[in-house]
Amino acid sequence: MAGVSGAPGFIPSPSSNGISLGPLFLHAYGIAYVFAVLGAVLVARRRWERLGGSRELVYEVAMWGFPAGLIGGRIYFLITTPSQIPPHWWGPFAIWKGGLGIWGGIAGGTLAGLWVLRRRGIEIPTFMDVGAPGLLVAQAIGRIGNYFNQELYGAPSRLPWALKIDPAHRYPGYAQYSTFEPTFLYELIWDLGLAAFLVWLGHHRKIRPPGLFALYVAGYSAFRIFEETQRIDYSNHFLGMRVNFWLASVLCVIGLTWFVAIQRGWRWSGARGEGRTSVAAAGGRGPRGR
């Protein structure tokens, strides 16, 4: 492990977690989430329009999914880590301090999106496959906010790409170390790679919908199993492991089982409508107009 001197080469941390515009201070964490939503919308819009769908539907799903994701992410954080809530009356609402659980965010945003799709009579499985890579892009961009907040890093490290953490942001028990594993950076790279793989798979293989979404669940969760063994930030534990380790393990198994079941003929009983096209078309070989 690294001593006070840290790694001989390292990634520096930002000197500030936001920018000042006159009397306003814009937190990088919030800015990252805005760009995350824009990234998801752009990816999903392009993929949906290639099927002949309307971009207005993508915008509507995002309009409901984004706030629902924020609410779900914050609720998950409050339930699983209540000791980390700032000790003020506004503490439960202080999302600019971090504290958005990705699992709750995904669940809240997905449920809101499904509600919109059912109301509009859209073929839900196809839209889920269209949106899966966009969700990964959003999650990757969101991790940039963790970089500016100097949070969610791993154990002390002397690797050339270790991240230097300012003393004020070092976790209890690690004050004597200066450079740490940038686990959020690993996740960012994984998310983008998995998104590219899902797009490629939709192009080159016939995947029954929502098979790509099932692989998104399994693939992201698989990485989190690894990541949860590396992170040193506060977490509740169960049977000696972080709670999110167990949740990721369960979701990985569910995602893989779901994918196999779909490919073997299990069918979604959701609504059908505007999106009645194949996943192969979602990969870019289908109709470009309606």
pLDDT digits (tens, 9 = 90+) for 22-47: 888 888 888 998 899 999 999 999 99
Cis peptide before 210 (omega within 30 of 0): yes
pLDDT the model gives residue 119: 92
β-strands 24-27, 237-238 pairing: unpaired
Q: At what angle do helices 211-228 and 124-149 cross, to 10 degrees?
A: 20
Q: Dump pLDDT digits (tens) for 167-216.
A: 999 999 999 999 999 999 999 999 999 999 999 999 989 999 999 999 99
pLDDT the model gives residue 271: 42
**What values do phi and psi take at 154, rounded to 5?**
-105, -155
Nearest-angstrom CA–CA distance, 23 and 16: 16
User: What is the distance between the terminal CA atoms of the chain, rounded to a whole angstrom?
Assistant: 59
Nearest-angstrom CA–CA distance, 112 and 125: 15
pTM of the full structure: 0.84
Residue 244's pLDDT band (boundaries 50, 70, 90)?
very high
The number of angstroms, rounded, from the C-alpha of 148 to the middle of its chain's C-alpha atoms is: 17
Q: Dump pLDDT digits (tens) for 92-124.
A: 666 655 567 787 888 999 999 999 999 999 999
Statement: residue 220 has pLDDT above 50:
yes
Statement: residue 7 has pLDDT above 90:
no
- Which 3 state secondary structure label does DSSP give 18? strand
pLDDT the model gives residue 26: 85
Least trusted range by pLDDT, from 210-219, 240-249, 281-290: 281-290
Q: What is the DSSP letter of 85?
A: S
> Among all chains, which residue has been given the structure tokens 């109709």?
287
Statement: residue 288 has pLDDT above 50:
no
pLDDT the model gives residue 286: 35
The alpha carbon torsion through 189, 195, 198, 202 (nearest 10 deg) reads -140
pLDDT the model gives residue 278: 40
Nearest-angstrom CA–CA distance, 69 and 82: 19
Statement: residue 279 has pLDDT above 50:
no
The number of angstroms, rounded, from the C-alpha of 129 to the middle of its chain's C-alpha atoms is: 16
pLDDT the model gives residue 3: 43
